[in-house]
Amino acid sequence: MTATLESRHLGPIDLDGGSGGGAMDGAVPFAGHSLPVRIEIDYPDRFGDAILNDIDMVLDRLDFVDGLARDTIAEGMRRDASAPAQLYQAWQRKGAGREDATAEFLGGLRPTRIVVLPDGGRSNPDRVVMTYGLADGSVTGAVTVRFLEPTGPELAPAPRAGF
């Protein structure tokens, strides 16, 4: 019988699925809220202490990951076709008198979900995916930042229909 591995943040890791992959949902406190966390493992038979440590390292450093994601979002706002620029434009349309309130918009984004994919290899370059929405709920929609191996964070494309 194999011992259940336990995360410092999520407790015992109990993956659903089988040899084709496994996943687990949980939550961690972050920035005053409960942040939903999803762990996705492509090769559950290889899941062990090293992969568990990778997961816990991400969750240990959520402030750092969040900072990189926010930098990526801020940079993306310079491109009109990007998801953050389009969400910002929709947010401006909803609020009368908002002129160049970039800092207010960026400050109003809150992480709504994080997915950790520690073992994807070349077939799945995503290692962490963070999704952000507006805390005030004035505009629905999300901005997603993908942390890719080996290139780092990048924005997921904006929805075709916009926000």
Task: Write down the pLDDT at residue 93.
Answer: 86
Per-residue pLDDT of the chain (163 residues; tens, 9 = 90+): 356 899 999 999 999 876 678 899 999 999 999 999 999 998 888 889 999 999 999 999 999 999 999 999 999 999 999 999 999 999 988 875 666 688 889 999 999 999 999 987 667 889 999 999 999 888 989 999 999 988 999 999 998 888 8
Task: Write down the pLDDT at residue 99.
Answer: 64
Residue ranges per structural domain of the chain: 15-155
Q: Are 36 and 25 in contact (CB under 8 A)?
A: yes
Express each pLDDT in 82-114 by its tens digit.
999 999 999 988 875 666 688 889 999 999 999
Phi-psi sector, 162: left (phi>0), alpha (psi -120 to 50), beta: left
Q: What is the pTM of this model?
A: 0.91
Q: Are 39 and 55 in contact (CB under 8 A)?
A: yes
What is the helix (H) or strand (E) element at residue 108, kind and residue range?
Answer: helix 102-108
The half-sphere exposure of 64 on its side-chain side, counting CA atoms within 13 A, is 7
Q: Are 145 and 69 in contact (CB under 8 A)?
A: yes
Task: Write down the pLDDT at residue 77.
Answer: 94
Contacts of 98 (CB under 8 A, 6+ apart): 91, 92, 104
